[in-house]
Structure 1
């Protein structure tokens, strides 16, 4: 009985010594500051950001009371422009207008700021500008292709 009692005491002491020894547990505290979720702002491709739009465009647009309007429009990277027009068969004088242009919200059309008495909007395409009507819409019909200025 004594040996069973000593065995019990020995096992109990061992058990108590093992459980009472607190093993130091290293815990790494991670800074749980919420990382801001980065949402990339992607801009859709449009004429303004994906085409090489600066340069000089020219063509002859229709005219109601002359042979045509010889048109040259130079667009600069700083959003300035020079528009030169000549009424063929009516005048030998070049009319020149300078100013700045802005882009519409979609980034596909420019608006010439100083033109108030005629069409001042052009749809910007690959190496071409399409003159729009007074309300900013594409011209349709048989003469529609005559309103396209091509890049030099």
Structure 2
């Protein structure tokens, strides 16, 4: 905006007030530049150009990445690392590694995962450091080094292939499930965290024990509790007819808490 001398005289600006105004404008300029830079970098998974900078959680966009990734990747002091990575819709992962040729070959870790930009990050587990993968165009996951760059060794591939035919909810699948469990009017319902997929609880297994534990855990009758179980996906007939429904046969009760808060709602801070 242009101010004439007459304009300055009519508003009676003093030299001190002019200097104060200029200082405020100059101090605000770096903040505006920083905000513009941050807005330009925030690109959730699946949008914009390739972006390996882990800047912003993609939220619901992470759900399509849930699945199983597997392959044998190179190893400096063994014959290869047979790797199986399961990204679950509840923002938890399981990583199984077998170091071929070593006396004690197996490594297992679990924790939370996130996706920012085009990068999947696995929360550190035990003495294992943070691990990051770049999402490839074919939805494979390519291992990144400590600097966030793709691992590169002549003639060797560090990419885990997405097992597209694998359904984490297929009948017969055995894995951990986290979600909200409710028992009301002789019916038990489990809603999985992340996917909001509903399952009945099969009478076989630990269904009766779940019911008893729910009675002593929930804050109010008919209200959900948080539940983590090892279970097998099965199917059963509904009470009202011959229609079948998906159900979980609970093999082991791992955790039950009165507050039904899912892992993605209380993510642990990741190492930068």
The answer to whether TM tops 0.5 is yes
Partner residue, 2:131: 120
Q: Which runs of 5+ in 2 are unaligned?
A: 1-41, 47-57, 164-272
Deviations 1:108-129 (A, max 9, x none): 1111112463560011233311
> Partners of 1:97 and 1:50 in 2: how far apart?
20
**Pair 1:111–1:55, CA change in 2 (3 A):** same
Partner residue, 1:109: 119
Partner residue, 2:80: 68
1:4-83 aligned within 5 A? 46-47=45-46, 49=61, 52-83=64-95
Query: Which of structures 1 and 2 has the bigger CA Rg?
Result: 1
Contact kept in structure 2, 1:118 and 1:134, CA below 8 Å: no
Between 1 and 2, higher relative CO (CA 8 Å, sep ≥ 6) is seen in: 1
> Partners of 1:142 and 1:51 in 2: how far apart?
33
> Partners of 1:118 and 1:62 in 2: how far apart?
18
Q: Which runs of 5+ in 1 are unaligned?
A: 1-42
**Pair 1:44–1:133, CA change in 2 (3 A):** closer
**Pair 1:88–1:101, CA change in 2 (3 A):** same
CA-atom RMSD in angstroms? 2.5
Deviations 1:19-76 (A, max 9, x none): xxxxxxxxxxxxxxxxxxxxxxxx9563452883111000111111100111110001
**Pair 1:92–1:123, CA change in 2 (3 A):** same
Contact kept in structure 2, 1:119 and 1:133, CA below 8 Å: no
Partner residue, 1:36: none
Partner residue, 2:162: 151
Report the TM-score, using the length of structure 2 for normalisation.
Answer: 0.35
Give the CA deviation at 1:77.
Answer: 1.3
> Partners of 2:130 and 2:83 in 1: how far apart?
12
Contact kept in structure 2, 1:62 and 1:68, CA below 8 Å: yes
Report the TM-score, using the length of structure 1 for normalisation.
Answer: 0.60
Partner residue, 2:24: none
Give the CA deviation at 1:132.
Answer: 0.7
Deviations 1:118-146 (A, max 9, x none): 560011233311111122111234245x2
Contact kept in structure 1, 2:62 and 2:114, CA below 8 Å: no
After TM superposition, the runs of 4+ consecutive aligned structure 1 residues lying more than 6 A away are none
**Pair 1:69–1:118, CA change in 2 (3 A):** farther
> Partners of 1:121 and 1:56 in 2: how far apart?
16
Partner residue, 1:27: none
